[in-house]
A and B are shown apart, each in its own frame.
Chain A
Amino acid sequence: MKALRKYLDKIKPNFEEGGKLHWLYSTYDAFETFLFVPNTTSKSGVHIHDARDSKRTMIIVVLALVPALLIGMYNVGLQHYLAIGQDVAFLTKFFYGFLAVLPHIVVSYVVGLGIEFAMAQVKKEEVAEGFLVTGILIPMIVPVDTPLWMIAVATAFAVIFAKEVFGGTGYNIFNVALITRAFLFFSYPSKMSGDQVWVRTASTFGMGNGSVIDGYSGATPLGQIATTEAGSFADFTFHGITGQPLSISDMFFGFIPGSIGEVSPIAILLGAALLIATGVGSWKTMLSVFLGGLAAVLLVNVFAQNAIMEMPVHYHFLLGGFAFGAVFMATDPVTSARTEKGKWIYGFLIGLLAVTIRVFNPGYPEGMMLAILFMNAFAPLIDFYVIDANIKRRAKRVTAMVK
């Protein structure tokens, strides 16, 4: 490490004001602070600081996402080999999924971080770490067959128009990863929904050649129930891509078609445990999303007219992006309500809206993305009323004093 430190000190002058590589200063600084804790000391105010910084916070979120990503990769392989009717080893499935997903991650990071580094250089600020999380979220919430150029375009759009124009990490109104997904969803609907996009049937880097078996159907469980002819939930069964019925445990472990990172509630639970234990994610937001969902489902169950209205609450939580959204998207501190009371309201309404969209909207089988984006817009309003109560209390004190 000492040699590395020496090398960094040696090349540093090139990047500083007047050096020939000054246009890369933000990049140099990002790598230097990645490798070594900056040794700037406090100039005003407190003389000691907590060891937690923005890098630590973001790294913990990335760590929390890893289980969902790994199971997601395995599931990509699993679904692929099911679709082509081949039985292969566990590691082969995982490796296939890894190869299929890796380019998405690379593209998302290269495009997003490239823009972030450039903006930091222009603004003469340090590179903010926000995109470390966004960059891994993006590949996890899109279908595996999304073309790479689409991811590149959508990421660039979201980073520039949902984040940088507002001032960068910490100032954005909408969750950047969800804006990426929304952009893809509305611009290229055929690649983002339907029953053709959730399972990668083609080979990846020459791996997993084969043709799709007869009776293959790539619809997601939520897509199936949204379009079912069955009159009631009792007449309906979820089935996998080869027509096999899906068990609760398939749904719980995440062996169903869907977006890469969203399929496995158990992996998401692991991530949630880490976020809550470290205090990085708000348990209040997570819990209230589920409470909101529960309330909405119980309500529509009572007035059920069709299969999806009758669907019991655990299916709602296990399927689609509900759990993933509650744990990783709703808890984004920048776009969520910032007051503690506000978080309860914010989360509850997300759960409520997500289920409402699922059940009553004929166009989209999944409602989590829209529910969260919608509540992102309302989060400042919720905070406004929570804080207003405090303001009123203070104003009341003054009038009491005048009397």
Chain B
Amino acid sequence: MANRIKIKKGLRIPLLGEAEETLRGRVTSEYVRICPEDFHGVTPKLAVKVDDVVKAGTPLFFDKNYPEMFFASPVSGVVTAIERGEKRRILYIEVKADSVIQYEDFGKKEVALLSAEEVKKSILDAGIWFLIKQRPYDVVAVPGKEPRDIFVTGFDTAPLAPSADFILNGQEADLQTGLDALAKLTQGKVYLSVSAKTTNKSLCEAKNVVVTEFEGPHPAGNVGVQINHIKPVNRGETVWTLSAPDVALIGRLFNEGIVDLTRTVALTGSEVKQTGYYQMLIGTELKSIFEGNVKEGISLRYISGNPLTGRKIDADDVLRAYDMQVTVIPEGDDVHEAFGWASLSPKRYSAGCTYPTYNKKYRLDARLLGGPRAIIVSNEYDKVFPMDIYPEQLIKSIIAFNIDKMEQLGIYEVAPEDFALCEFVDTSKLELQRIVRTGLDMLRKEME
């Protein structure tokens, strides 16, 4: 029987628009765009030029600091544009997709027969190394450094999050192969976390890993919380983190010998008329699933990811690299609500008790619902932060960029997503995730 850990602190935000567990088909688009900004900690250097012909699996770019780390094209076709922004930063690489995808052949491999070096090289060469992230700093894993342990989260507790059980349906073999491959990459252990509600046998009964069962509200599914409860990251240590569907993508490489970055993506949110799951490649344009399927007449916010950690995108934007969820909520910039501070409206949701609570699901928009202030209310972050860390004090040390204090208070254990709920409940409306991201980036620059 798996170890069981109960998370008490946290918050389930009751949002409208959970995805119906139905697969609605495969989405393809004429163009596919890869945005290097998705891969945090990577300095992209192009490996292709406009008009180059690529296959699925051909490197589009690589990391300047680790040239062995390639980033694969998800489709075959012709590179049609390389769009740059300020300071010539690459915004996206656009590939016009062939109607039938041709794959670069990496050869099927039996993981059990490979050495650690061979496994690592296979993943790097195939251009899907980015699926492995690391703590500290929450960046794409540095290939040269061996991790103490590898942590895989097998469920997502974020609001409207897709069900890992459903996504992994039919990918059971790939998941186990992926886990076996990961086990080769560390001297330590591979920890797989599942939820008490997980039913997929490939998760609950996975081999070659230590399975831990978590129970509780969000952020129990965040890998950072799981690490903190299983075996916290100390100064000088590195651990790698992945989500179970990403592990399956790695497994697919070994089982099939090709790079197939097909994800099962949940279309969620209160403004979506028909929710559900779609299969699509990373970088696929999303407009076809939005067209005619979202509420009209109000201004909308499209998010690649969930409402807490996702990225704001346009309606004609693409699925971002790590996301298994696309969300549409009202933007709210066309709403004028009078006397909000006195409101008893059942439309307003608050985690605390300053508003009446109703047992229902809410349709929340993107407004801040207040102005930015200094941190005033105490014990607000702690209630939704189930780690042995003082979040408020850590945030303050990051703002002051006091490296000693940050280290002492546990900066190496956290990622911006761990502060998402704190940011949600924050009375002072501070941008906590941005603060943590900036702090981690500055710290990395300072330490490396």
**Residues of A bordering B, CB below 8 Å:** 1, 4-5, 33-57, 59-60, 126, 128-130, 167-171, 277-280, 282, 333-334, 336, 338-340, 383, 387, 390-391, 393-395, 397-398, 401
- With A35-B338, A390-B409 as known contacts, state yes or no: A46 contacts B354, CB within 8 Å: no
Q: Which residues of B contact A393 (CB under 8 A)?
A: 388
- With A46-B309, A55-B340, A339-B390 as known contacts, state yes or no: A41 contacts B354, CB within 8 Å: no
- 0/1 per residue, B327-371, Cβ < 8 Å to A? 101011111111111110000111111110000000011111111
Segment of B27-35, B55-63, B172-180, B427-435 engaged in the interface with chain A: B427-435
**B335 touching A39 by the CB < 8 A rule?**
yes
**B420 touching A401 by the CB < 8 A rule?**
no
Among A55, A59, A169, A398, max chain B CB count under 10 A is at A55
**Does B312 sit at the interface, judged by CB under 8 A?**
yes
Q: A43, A167, A170: which contacts B376 (Cβ < 8 A)?
A: A170
With the chains together, A126 CA to B374 CA distance in Å? 11
**B376 touching A60 by the CB < 8 A rule?**
no
Q: Which residues of B contact A277 (CB under 8 A)?
A: 353
Q: B232, B376, B389, B433: which contacts A333 (Cβ < 8 A)?
A: B376
With the chains together, A129 CA to B382 CA distance in Å? 23
Q: A4, A47, A54, A60: which contacts B301 (Cβ < 8 A)?
A: A47
- With A52-B355, A128-B373, A280-B354 as known contacts, state yes or no: A47 contacts B427, CB within 8 Å: no
With the chains together, A40 CA to B372 CA distance in Å? 11
With the chains together, A65 CA to B351 CA distance in Å? 24
**Does B408 sit at the interface, judged by CB under 8 A?**
yes
**B350 touching A51 by the CB < 8 A rule?**
yes
Q: Which residues of B contact A52 (CB under 8 A)?
A: 350-352, 354-355, 370, 425, 427
With the chains together, A167 CA to B374 CA distance in Å? 9
Given A35-B339, A57-B376, A397-B232, output 10 extra A-B contacts at Cβ < 8 Å. A36-B336, A41-B366, A42-B368, A49-B429, A55-B370, A56-B355, A278-B353, A338-B392, A390-B389, A394-B232
**Does B108 sit at the interface, judged by CB under 8 A?**
no
- With A46-B424, A50-B425, A51-B340 as known contacts, state yes or no: A40 contacts B432, CB within 8 Å: no
With the chains together, A56 CA to B433 CA distance in Å? 24
- With A48-B366, A390-B409 as known contacts, state yes or no: A336 contacts B378, CB within 8 Å: yes
**B354 touching A57 by the CB < 8 A rule?**
yes
**Does B235 sit at the interface, judged by CB under 8 A?**
yes
Q: B235, B339, B352, B374: which contacts A170 (Cβ < 8 A)?
A: B374
- With A126-B372, A170-B374 as known contacts, state yes or no: A45 contacts B432, CB within 8 Å: yes
Closest residue to B235 on the A side, CB-wise?
Answer: A398
Q: A51, A129, A390, A391: which contacts B348 (Cβ < 8 A)?
A: A51
- With A37-B337, A336-B378 as known contacts, state yes or no: A47 contacts B354, CB within 8 Å: no
Q: Which residues of B contact A338 (CB under 8 A)?
A: 378-379, 392-393
Minimum distance in angstroms from B222 CB to a CB of chain A: 14
**Residues of B bordering A, CB below 8 Å:** 13, 15, 159, 232, 234-237, 301, 303, 307-310, 312, 327, 329, 331-343, 348-355, 364-379, 382, 388-390, 392-393, 408-410, 416, 420, 423-429, 431-434
With the chains together, A340 CA to B372 CA distance in Å? 24
Q: A45, A48, A56: which contacts B341 (Cβ < 8 A)?
A: A56
**B366 touching A36 by the CB < 8 A rule?**
no
Minimum distance in angstroms from B192 CB to a CB of chain A: 23
Q: Which residues of B contact A390 (CB under 8 A)?
A: 388-390, 409
Among A38, A52, A54, A59, max chain B CB count under 10 A is at A52
Closest residue to B430 on the A side, CB-wise?
Answer: A45
Q: Which residues of B contact A394 (CB under 8 A)?
A: 232, 234, 408-410
With the chains together, A339 CA to B424 CA distance in Å? 20
**A387 touching B339 by the CB < 8 A rule?**
no
Minimum distance in angstroms from B107 CB to a CB of chain A: 39
Closest residue to A59 on the B side, CB-wise?
Answer: B341
Closest residue to B339 on the A side, CB-wise?
Answer: A35
With the chains together, A227 CA to B334 CA distance in Å? 66
**A47 touching B312 by the CB < 8 A rule?**
yes
Among B369, B379, B410, B425, max chain A CB count under 10 A is at B369
With the chains together, A110 CA to B332 CA distance in Å? 34
With the chains together, A395 CA to B407 CA distance in Å? 10
**A54 touching B427 by the CB < 8 A rule?**
yes
Closest residue to A392 on the B side, CB-wise?
Answer: B408
CB-defined A-B contacts under 8 Å, sample of 23 = A35-B338, A35-B339, A37-B338, A37-B367, A38-B370, A39-B367, A40-B333, A44-B433, A45-B416, A46-B424, A47-B301, A50-B351, A53-B371, A54-B428, A55-B340, A57-B377, A128-B374, A130-B376, A338-B378, A340-B382, A390-B390, A394-B232, A394-B234
**B331 touching A41 by the CB < 8 A rule?**
yes
Closest residue to B351 on the A side, CB-wise?
Answer: A50
Minimum distance in angstroms from B435 CB to a CB of chain A: 9
Q: Which residues of B contact A48 (CB under 8 A)?
A: 13, 15, 159, 307-308, 329, 364-366, 424
Minimum distance in angstroms from A39 CB to a CB of chain B: 5
